[in-house]
Structure 1
Amino acid sequence: MATLDYYTIREHIPAPIVLPNTEPLHSIMQQIEKTGEFRILQSSLMEHGWAVDINLHDPVTPGPHIKYPHYHDFFELIYVYKGEMHTIVNQKEDILLNPKQLLLMNPDTRHVLNCNDSNAVIYNIMIQRDFVEKQLLNIIDKDYTIFHFFFHSTYHDEMIKNYLVFPIDPEMEQYIHALILEHFDRKPFYKQMVVANLILVLGQIARIHKNQVTEQNHQLIQSGKLPEILQYIQLNYATVNLASMAEQFHYSEAHLSRMIKKQTGKTFSEILSDIRFQIAENYLCQSDLGVETIAEMVGYQNVSNFFRNFKQKYHCSPKEYRSQHRASR
């Protein structure tokens, strides 16, 4: 297992450790005075084409990031190697991170880093947005939550939660350590190895989260908590159907269908269709993806059905909808 040697890695980082930001401090302070928050731009390595950069967060270094909300031009994984840290998200949610958890945030997540432990060791793993959009999305399995998090975040889908917290198991820990060591050791082919280990980390996240969702949703449906059932439909909109839900959670299709209709006034199909079209709308307005690709992404196996249902709902074709709404922006 790859083991981090904190003091060895520390020697590779210029002191003092600063924010991974190419923007001058006075510009940051101007943003804070105007809006109460600030944006962190790409790191210098990312500007030179790096897909992944890693910063060692120093808890004793003062800066605006520990007092004011900030957000990024990149995705961020926060890994606590030692100690613990509070991350205040959206000025209301306090996430306590320790070495058993990994926090993934999208570029728009407003957050404040709060760590009073001078001995804490915290790594910020930064993932370039363009790398996610142009390469990573083509690698990750489309059936997993981690794919939809990146995909929706990339295209500014407001339905997606802007952060996820995952438990770390020994296998994932090994991949994280290898990722960090490759970044700082700079051995031959280290850039490729960094990306390879990042993919391993994300793959392990997908495995763990898939198992969690299966177990949790079994408990939720058995307890009859409809809001959580609807959340499950929203999370799995691309692949879910009434038959698979009923079979997975040991309900008859008729019972599940009646429960949903009774408590929402809509059928399962109507709810699923609404969710799929909300997401399709967003892709049409915010991305350059082809209509056929969007249809497949939201769960339509038959593209003709997507065109027909879309026109019935919006009284125009998907291409016309895209043209109209982009012209009005």
Structure 2
Amino acid sequence: MQLDSFYNLPMEKRLLQQLSQLTEEEQEILKGGVIDKNRYSSGNSFVIDSEKLLKKGRLIEIRPHTRFVHFPKHTHNYVEFVYMVSGETHHILNGTDEITLKAGELLFLNQNATQEILPASEGDVAINFILLPEFFDEALQMIPEGDLLRDFLISTLSPESSFLTYLHFPAADILPVQNLMENMIFTMLNQDSETIINNINKTTMGLLLQTLSVYVSLVNQGTPSQYEQNLLLTVLKYIDAHYKHGTLEAIAEQTKQPTYYISRLLKKHTGKNFKEQLMTRRLQQAAYLLSHTTLTIEDIYTYIGYDNSSYFYRKFKEAYGMSPRDYRLAN
């Protein structure tokens, strides 16, 4: 294609044409090669090293995802952000979570996520963003406290294990997100100045995250994502095992999540916050003991963690429509 014709193409087609070209690594793989771990990592464990991928002085870099080969399980010592330009890729995260990333979708992974990627075909074009945590300093200031994205960004600053290790955004239909992604990729492909690349893309990333924050409740409306499902299950299991003396602070520390986020997540998907879920489980146990044992009512409410009889009687009647004594007689 002549140069004039190339520049007359819409931006998304120009970018796709640039990004679809076979890399040197892909050419070697098509001749029978495999993933050379030394290209990505220096140690025995497969931890992809930012120093192998980032140019000196840059906080951000992009590279096309390597196609035609199974990319084995690995972690990163940086934040990875995958944008699907065309086609789709299939990811296995943290050993169990399977995600198909389709055109226009985004996947963020922090340093604690493990990732494995199934072979992609020639038309499956994805861009991997390599980001050092300090790149998000400016973006962090643009997102309000209590936001899921802000929680994730904070998790990228900690080397400790975090429950929230990845975020998947099906954002193909969100035009502002697509425009911002095109702008960021275009800058990376056509600028050589580290200062320009770092500063422009810091601002663009902040706008991108703000936009995702606005749309995230619509994108995931009513349906918990995989990490939300895992967190919900963990919290509900904790309540089931620790209903007598369990606390929101204890499960927050266990899962390394803010207390407000856990309670808000429970409320969103179960209709009850942590305190309400704990009380429901206690009353369920009281009902079971009333109908299956001869324990006194005082022994029962003490056993389930209450020391105030009037409070227990009132809450039990609210839940079951009768007093504990009447419930025992009826069952």
Q: TM-score range by the shorter chain?
A: 0.5 to 0.7
Cα distance change, pair 238–79 in 1 and its aligned pair in 2 (3 A): same
Cα pair distance change 1:27/1:53, threshold 3 Å: closer
1:5 partnered with 2:14:
yes
Matches within 5 A, 1:132-147: 132=136, 134-147=137-150
The question of 1:38 aligning with 2:46 is answered yes
Match of 2:24 among 16, 20, 29: 16
Equivalent residue of 1:81, what SS?
A: strand
In the alignment, the residues of structure 1 paired with residue 187 and residue 201 of structure 2 have an alpha-carbon distance, to the nearest angstrom, of: 6
Question: In 1, distance between residues paired with 2:187 and 2:167?
Answer: 25
Q: Which amino acid aligns with 1:237?
A: T
Q: Is the 8 A contact 2:133 2:156 kept in 1?
A: no
Q: Cα gap change, 1:100/1:252 in structure 2, threshold over 3 Å: closer, same or farther?
A: closer
The alignment partner of 2:283 has SS state of: helix
Contact 2:113 2:165 in 1 (8 A): yes
- Quick check: 1:208 aligned with 2:229? no
Secondary structure of the residue aligned to 1:125 is strand
Residue aligning to 1:75: 79
Instruction: Give 1:163's aligned amino acid.
Output: Y
The 3 A distance-change label for structure 1 pair 247 and 149 is closer
Q: CA deviation at 1:159?
A: 4.5
Structure 1 CA distance for aligned equivalents of residues 275 and 64 of structure 2: 54
Tell me if structure 2 keeps the 8 A contact 1:2–1:178: no
Between stretches 254-263 and 177-186, larger displacement belongs to: 254-263
CA deviation after TM superposition for structure 1 residue 247, in Å: 11
Aligned to 2:201: 194
When the two structures are superposed, what TM-score results if normalisation uses the length of structure 1? Answer: 0.58
Q: Tell me, in whole angstroms, the C-alpha distance in 2 between the residues paired with 1:238 and 1:77.
A: 26
Match of 1:315 in 2: none
* Offset from partner CA, 1:233-267 (integer Å, 9 cap, x none): 8666347879xx98999889997774365369679
Note if 1:184 corresponds to 2:189.
yes
Name the structure 1 match of 2:161: 158
- Measure, in 2, the Cα distance between the counterparts of 1:151 and 1:211: 23
User: Whole-Å Cα distance in 2 between the matches of residues 94 and 252 of structure 1?
Assistant: 29
Change over 3 Å in CA distance of 1:129–1:121 after alignment to 2: same
Instruction: Letter of the 2:280 partner, please give it.
Output: M
**Structure having the higher Rg:** 2
Number of aligned positions between the proteins = 242
Alignment partners' CA distance in 2, 1:100 and 1:213: 16
- Distance apart, 1:161 and its partner CA: 2.4
Identity of aligned residues (%): 15
Cα displacement (A) at 1:91: 2.8
> Aligned pair 1:125/2:129, yes or no?
yes
Partner amino acid, structure 1, of 2:151: H
Of 65, 77, 91, 2:95 maps to 91
For residues 216 and 82 of structure 1, do their structure 2 counterparts lie closer, same or farther at Cα, with a shift above 3 Å needed?
A: closer
**1:242-321 alignment, distance < 5 Å:** 258-259=279-280, 261-262=282-283
Structure 1 runs not aligned, ≥5 long: 19-23, 218-225, 268-329
Distance change in 2, residues 1:115/1:266 (3 Å): farther
Q: What's the offset of the Cα at 1:177?
A: 1.2
Residue 98 of structure 1: how far off its partner (Å): 0.7
Q: Is the 8 A contact 1:86 1:97 kept in 2?
A: yes
Once residues 102 and 135 of structure 1 are traced to their aligned partners in structure 2, the CA distance between those partners, rounded to angstroms, is 20
1:54 maps to a residue whose letter is I
SS at match of 1:142: coil
Q: Which residue does 1:304 correspond to in 2?
A: none
Amino acid across the alignment from 2:92:
I
1:56 aligns with 2:61: no
One-letter amino acid of the structure 1 residue matched with residue 103 of structure 2:
P
Per-residue deviation at 1:171? 1.8
For structure 2, the 5+ residue unaligned runs are 1-9, 27-35, 225-231, 238-247, 286-303, 307-331
Tell me, what secondary structure is at the counterpart of 2:186?
Answer: helix
Amino acid at match of 1:99: A
Structure 2: distance between partners of 1:266 and 1:153: 38
Q: Which amino acid is 2:133 matched to?
A: R
Cα distance change of structure 1 residues 165 and 115 upon mapping to structure 2, 3 Å threshold: same
Pick closer, same or farther for the CA change 1:262–1:166 going to 2, 3 Å. Answer: farther
Give the Å deviation of 1:154.
Answer: 2.2
Contact 1:85 1:96 in 2 (8 A): yes
- Aligned-pair distance for 1:25? 4.8
1:76, distance to aligned residue in structure 2 (A): 0.8
Match of 1:173 among 167, 172, 178: 178
Q: 1:109, 1:163 within 8 Å by CA — same for their partners in 2?
A: yes
Q: Who is 1:301 aligned against?
A: none
